[in-house]
Structure 1
Amino acid sequence: MNHTIEARAIKLGYGSKVIAPAIDLVLDKPEVISIIGPNGSGKSTLLKALSRLLVPLAGCVLLDGRDIHRLPPQEVARTMAILPQSVHAPGDMTVCDLVAYGRMPYKKMFAQLTGADKDYMAAGLAATGMQDLQQRRLDSLSGGERQRAWLAMALAQQPRLLLLDEPTTYLDIHHQLELMKLIRKLHQDMQLTVVMVLHDLNHAARFSQRIIAVKEGLIFADGPVKEVFTVENLRSLYGVETTVMTVEQGGSSHLVCFPHDSCLAPGA
């Protein structure tokens, strides 16, 4: 079953500070979607609104046609899993204990894990390659392993929608690539809708089917990668000149960009 997130004329901000004056957006099919844009453009704020972590100042976010803020949190968590930019858990917690939290939307308070719960946990660990590390403490893991542990927890929720805020932050290039490949595989294998904020434009172009470009709190461009990932759009978004070209790798091709000059006046 496909699930739909819709933003209707949402105005976003914090207190009296408005970050996004009006955004309309529909996410209605399983695909990998990257939200890009310069610092301060409202990318993470938009993701927070879509994931129920931020109440719009005006307008509404709908999950399958219903106001997401009027739905019980457990019901939302059975459809949508969210990994914010910074997530924390006690360092002495094991991977298995962390993944067990993914079953909370299905449990009554203090209820024991059932055989079905353990099966979903095992599936999350297997999908992220964390089976052999499930008894390890979180503080003994590398950055890439920790990200996979959190992903395993998210998958234990049985989500149809997976929202990620800058999932590659603090990872070296090897672990960035491994994580992005894993996210793409999860989408393909489970038909998940994945929405993620990314700073790395080449990761967005390579691993997404759709790109949403945000500038000054507004949707600047939205569509297939080839339509959005252009020299003109990148110039308008970031104030830099780029070369965009197609790279062939392993029998498939994807776009990459090479920034090479600023087109903003000094001090602009």
Structure 2
Amino acid sequence: MNAEVRLEARQLTLSYGEKIISACLDIVINQPEIIAIIGPNGSGKSTFLKALSRLLPPAEGTVLLNGEDIHRMRPNAAARLLSVLPQSAQAPGDMLVRDLIANGRAPYISLFGRPGKEDEAAILSAADATGVTGLLFRRLDSLSGGERQRAWLALALAQEPQLLMLDEPTTYLDVHHQLEFMKLVSRLYKERKLTVVMVLHDLNHAARYCQRIIAMKQGDIFADGPAETVLTAESIRLLYGVEATIMTIKQGNREHLVCFPHDVCSV
């Protein structure tokens, strides 16, 4: 799990049917870090994440995972390196949390095989890491939104991936559970040396918890770099059409940017 993974997009053109969403996208992800993909609605963020995650074949171009075309890899081989938590993950309400997490072991178990000791250990480790050990025998429909999201994250971790892809993971959570989830992702990145790529709307979450921010606009990569170079008043105005004040605050022994949008403007 601690080995570095390389994910590379080369000249990607992404489309739904005849509608082109993005064209000529290039990017390299080659070290453990938390990366936020930001941008206004309709900018292509989730589409880009789906292409990087093997969920959407590109119309043109290639996505390489450790040098191999991800769309030509055996599904189990790709799933052992990369796991995905989609925006609206669904499962039967009467499913137990433990059974949900156990689905993360599918890439390691043959079609007619049974979970072994390593699989059981991975399930319990994922549950412990996400704080859902006490919920293992609860039904999904009995969980709060925050508990349910942590259970889904445990499923993704049970795959023992090197690369974790999250599509708007905090969208349906209140502010308490948003912060709880972001702190959890930050801890998992540090403890497991994960590379995390997530689509985010909250710019302050991106500024505080992410080492790298990729900003998208109208299907193109508008900016790519650390928060202090991407989250500027000018870039926020050009991206979102809003005036914003950017400040640096100190919490404990760490400083990070905060963004205060305060008015709409014409771009």
Is TM more than 0.5 here?
Answer: yes
State the TM-score, normalizing by the size of structure 2. 0.98
Q: Where does residue 266 of structure 2 map in the other structure?
A: 264
Q: Where does residue 34 of structure 1 map in the other structure?
A: 36
What CA distance in whole angstroms lies between the structure 2 residues aligned with 1:74 and 1:97?
A: 19
Is 1:81 the counterpart of 2:113? The answer is no
Tell me how far 1:220 sits from its aligned partner.
0.4
Structure 2 counterparts to residues 44-193 of structure 1, below 5 A: 44-193=46-195
SS in 2 for 1:53: coil
Is 1:24 the counterpart of 2:35? The answer is no
Percent identity between the two aligned chains: 61
Q: Deviations over 1:113-149 (max 9, x none)?
A: 1111000101000000111110000000000000000
Structure 1 segments, 4+ long, off by >6 Å, are: none
State the TM-score, normalizing by the size of structure 1. 0.98
Aligned residues: 265
SS in 2 for 1:100: helix
Tell me how far 1:181 sits from its aligned partner.
0.2
SS in 2 for 1:46: helix
Q: Where does residue 9 of structure 1 map in the other structure?
A: 11
What CA distance in whole angstroms lies between the structure 2 residues aligned with 1:99 and 1:262?
A: 43
Tell me how far 1:161 sits from its aligned partner.
0.1
SS in 2 for 1:69: coil
What CA distance in whole angstroms lies between the structure 1 residues aligned with 2:171 and 2:113?
A: 35
Note the residue ranges of structure 2 that are not aligned, 5 or more in a row: none
Tell me how far 1:251 sits from its aligned partner.
2.2
Q: Where does residue 211 of structure 2 map in the other structure?
A: 209
What CA distance in whole angstroms lies between the structure 1 residues aligned with 2:115 and 2:142?
A: 25
